[in-house]
Structure 1
Amino acid sequence: MPPTQRPYHHGDLRRAILTAALDVIAAEGPSALSLRDLARRAGVSHAAPAHHFKDRAGLLTVIAAEGFALLATALGEADDLRDAGVRYVRFATEHPAHFQVMFRPELLRGDDLELATARALAGERLRTAVSAVPPEGRGADQRLAGVAAWSLAHGFATLLLSHNLDGPVGEQDPEEVFHALASLLFRRRPDE
């Protein structure tokens, strides 16, 4: 073998490309993602990523579906609605690249079954947490309470990741701050 050639071997090229894509997105955002660059990073031909994902939208769709599945798992482990919100914020901080892609429908294949299934499961887990709050603690309109809970968690996570809460949150634990905010809006009992 000539000295300039390296042997090709990837135990899991698909995962290697996903991992490289998550690194790029976390550092530079989804707009910086290119299949050609990912192939270079993985040490494979520029056509290799297309074999697994077809195109950029396919890759981003897989990342979003994976993110929604991880989020559904996190929400499913919550004790109550406030804990679900804390887990949502934790998910965003632990998986910032997934979080950046999941809520960008213009980047994704909207008809992807895996994405739709994972998104629906995450939504169901949030609705379950909201439904566990008695009406006197969330209001009569459960659907509107769900929108409020999601908006609070998603907005807080987005502001946190974009460093817009550095001043107000300071050195406090963001999860504790979120729990306190959620306690202001959602109560388990009227006396809480």
Structure 2
Amino acid sequence: MTTSRSTYHHGELRQAVLAAALDVIAAEGPGALSLRDLARRAGVSHAAPAHHFKDRTGLLTAIATEGYDLLAAGLADAPGLRERGVRYVRFAVDHPAHFQVMFQPELLRADDPDLLAAKERASAELRTGVAGLTGVPEPRTAGIAAWSLAHGFATLLLTHNVREALGDRDPEEYFLSLTGLLFAEQLATGEGE
């Protein structure tokens, strides 16, 4: 994706570098990311991306921030915890590069205020799903269990470790069947929705 320098206008370079970085991460993982390579792909000087991201960590932090914002938006207004789980899985499938980066804190600037705010928005949406549960003595523990199920399934899905088990089934429907299997009692009594 080489683009002529003359096609960039103020504000477009940042998005072009982010898009190129997401392509690299999706294809080769975050370890393959280099600001110099991204500059080459964008057709700009090797120093140009540093004006927006300072360094590789800044770029990865921007990607994680964008990912948490996308996740929060995807979870918003979901009816019930199960639907939030489905949307979590959908987010991972639709944004695999973001998903890879978001949960590797060693790659990120942990004290970045934009990242912290985006993480809090996503966490608040996940907590809202747990708040709808009735009869749960430890909501925080229930939230971690629900997150573990959705995150674990999404990770297995993205790493192709459940390909054989899925067969031709839709991953979201398969995830719903998993939650039904594990939480049959709560679902039968109307809890958890």
What's the TM-score once normalised by structure 1's chain length?
A: 0.92
C-alpha distance in 2 between matches for 1:190 and 1:118: 35
Q: How many residues align?
A: 184
- Match among 164, 168, 172 for residue 165 of structure 2: 168
C-alpha distance in 2 between matches for 1:66 and 1:7: 25
Q: Which amino acid aligns with 1:156?
A: F
- Asked which structure has the greater CA Rg, the reply is 1
The residue aligned with 1:155 is 152
Q: Which runs of 4+ in 1 moved over 3 A?
A: none
State the superposition RMSD in angstroms.
1.4
SS in 1 for 2:130: helix
C-alpha distance in 2 between matches for 1:118 and 1:188: 31
The residue aligned with 1:141 is 138
Identical columns (%): 63
The residue aligned with 1:68 is 68
C-alpha distance in 1 between matches for 2:44 and 2:88: 36
CA contact (8 A) 1:101 1:107 kept: yes
- Displacement of 1:7 in angstroms is 5.6
> 1:77-92 alignment to 2 at 5 Å?
77-92=77-92
The residue aligned with 1:9 is 7
The residue aligned with 1:121 is 121
What's the TM-score once normalised by structure 2's chain length?
A: 0.91
SS in 2 for 1:38: helix
The residue aligned with 1:180 is 177
SS in 2 for 1:172: coil
> 1:8-27 alignment to 2 at 5 Å?
8-11=6-9, 12-27=12-27
CA contact (8 A) 1:8 1:44 kept: no
C-alpha distance in 1 between matches for 2:89 and 2:5: 42
CA contact (8 A) 1:133 1:188 kept: no
Q: Which amino acid aligns with 1:20?
A: A
The residue aligned with 1:190 is 189
Q: Could you say if the C-alpha distance between residues 134 and 41 of structure 1 is closer, same or farther in structure 2, counting changes exceeding 3 Å?
A: same
CA contact (8 A) 2:5 2:44 kept: no
Q: Which runs of 5+ in 1 are unaligned?
A: 1-5
CA contact (8 A) 1:14 1:52 kept: yes
SS in 2 for 1:179: helix
> 1:32-111 alignment to 2 at 5 Å?
32-111=32-111
C-alpha distance in 2 between matches for 1:191 and 1:184: 15
Q: Which runs of 5+ in 2 are unaligned?
A: none
